[in-house]
Amino acid sequence: MGTYTKEASIFFVDDEADIRKIVRITLEDKFNCYVKCFDNGSACVEALKNPQRECDLLITDVRMPQMDGVALLQEAKQLRPWLSVLILSAHGNVPLAVKALKSGAFDFIEKPIDTDILFPLVASALQRGLKAGKIAGTPITNSEREILKLIAEGKSNSEMAAYLHRSIRTVERHRYFLMRKLNVSSPAELTKAAIALGLTSPEIL
């Protein structure tokens, strides 16, 4: 399991104060990270709207008043497409949790929370979130973004060249620089980068 610094930030949303306290203490102790708690989804959304507020992982209960976990997930993905989201679900809310997975959640955990299940999922989600956040902060040109989107859609070099009215050599050059900038080595990794940058989503691939 990875070691994280205080630079790693987790947002945790649950309307029960006792659960918020226990989860915050448990995660900060285990992962040496910062956990910001919210008692409702709307407050979390407002925090996510602030680009100065770092968030590498969002964990939310699925059943809450005003804004449920699925609605929060959808709002979060609109604001930060690369963000990993874990959903907490009581036994009777499994269908809602499955809906959350289809909306882009990283995974879901049934309540009562079992740390043997929670810790590996948080470790994996944090690792993905930190990597995706780094990719999202990588400066790429508009032409490179367009090429990356087309790669994620499965277009070949010749198809991209025809669509963009560019030479195949130009497309290949953009592709080469994209792979160097994003530190990836395969089309599959480029597709993941496109998802991290919000150029496409897992649902349409």
* Residue 86 domain-assigned (yes or no): yes
CATH number at residue 44: 3.40.50.2300
- Give residue 19's pLDDT: 95
Co-location of 27 and 94 in the same domain: yes
Co-location of 91 and 146 in the same domain: no
Domain end point (choices 108, 136, 164): 136
Please, which pLDDT band fits residue 45 given cuts at 50, 70 and 90? Answer: very high
Co-location of 54 and 112 in the same domain: yes
Domain that holds residue 151: 142-204
**pTM confidence score:** 0.71
Tokens of 1: 């399991």
* Residue 1 domain-assigned (yes or no): no
Identify which has the larger pLDDT, 202 or 39.
39
Share of the chain above pLDDT 70, in %: 88
Co-location of 118 and 161 in the same domain: no
pLDDT of 158 strictly over 80 = yes
Domain end point (choices 76, 107, 136): 136
Identify which has the larger pLDDT, 182 or 122.
122
Please, which pLDDT band fits residue 202 given cuts at 50, 70 and 90? Answer: low
- Give residue 198's pLDDT: 66
Mean pLDDT of the chain: 86
How many domains does the chain contain in total? 2
The 10s digit of each residue's pLDDT in 87-132 is 998 866 778 777 888 888 999 898 899 999 999 999 999 888 777 7
- Give residue 205's pLDDT: 45
Co-location of 149 and 168 in the same domain: yes
- Give residue 6's pLDDT: 46
Q: What does the alpha-carbon distance between residue 87 and residue 61 come to, in Å, rounded to a whole number?
A: 6
* Residue 92 domain-assigned (yes or no): yes
* Residue 2 domain-assigned (yes or no): no
Identify which has the larger pLDDT, 54 or 118.
118
Co-location of 127 and 193 in the same domain: no
Domain end point (choices 136, 167, 184): 136
* Residue 4 domain-assigned (yes or no): no
